[in-house]
Amino acid sequence: MAANIVFTRIDNRLVHGQVGVTWTKAVNANLLLVANDEAASDPLMQKLMSTTAESSGAGIRFFTLQHTIDIISKAADRQHIFIVVKTPQDCEKLIAGGVPIKTVNVGNMHFAQGKTEITKKVYVDADDKKALLDIAHKGVDIYIQDYPGEKKTTVDDALLSKVQ
């Protein structure tokens, strides 16, 4: 039985108000799974994100990428899982590891040196581009959408053509 993954989002802020409340309610998730090696071992990060998750009524777990891969198949059917990862590379690792992700929402990927603007909230470099395209080429529906109900921008070769 595959895990009931209702939503997967790439957001370099991980869980914050927009994810913890707006998206969680929009996708009817009852469990936020933060798949991030750093957050899995940082009690302060966990405390801040847990407070946000509690305001939406969802449970929250913090797993390393590998632990997520190892344990996702054991999820109960009643768990409507919303996976949050920090980078496209993390998402790509989960998919390669067998996590049954069918759709990926790209949220915030902040500007940094060497990154190219794709949308107002998404900046990518060559490594990000490769990971995003690898995900898209595996048949995963991957798109940029900041808020529920906003227009979706499909992530594909044409969109990423300006990234070197």
What does 78-139 look like in DSSP terms, one character per residue?
T--EEEEESSHHHHHHHHHTT----EEEE--B---TT-EEEETTEEE-HHHHHHHHHHHHTT
Q: Closest Cα to residue 36, out of 15, 59, 58, 6?
A: 15
Give the number of C-alpha atoms closer than 13 A to the C-alpha of residue 91, restricted to the C-beta side. 35
Q: Which tokens is 11 given?
A: 């957001």
Catalytic residue status for 16: yes
* Catalytic-labelled residue, pool 16, 67, 110, 137: 16
Amino acid identity at 15: V
Strands 116-119 and 122-124: antiparallel
Q: Closest Cα to residue 72, out of 23, 35, 103?
A: 35
- Active-site residue numbers? 16
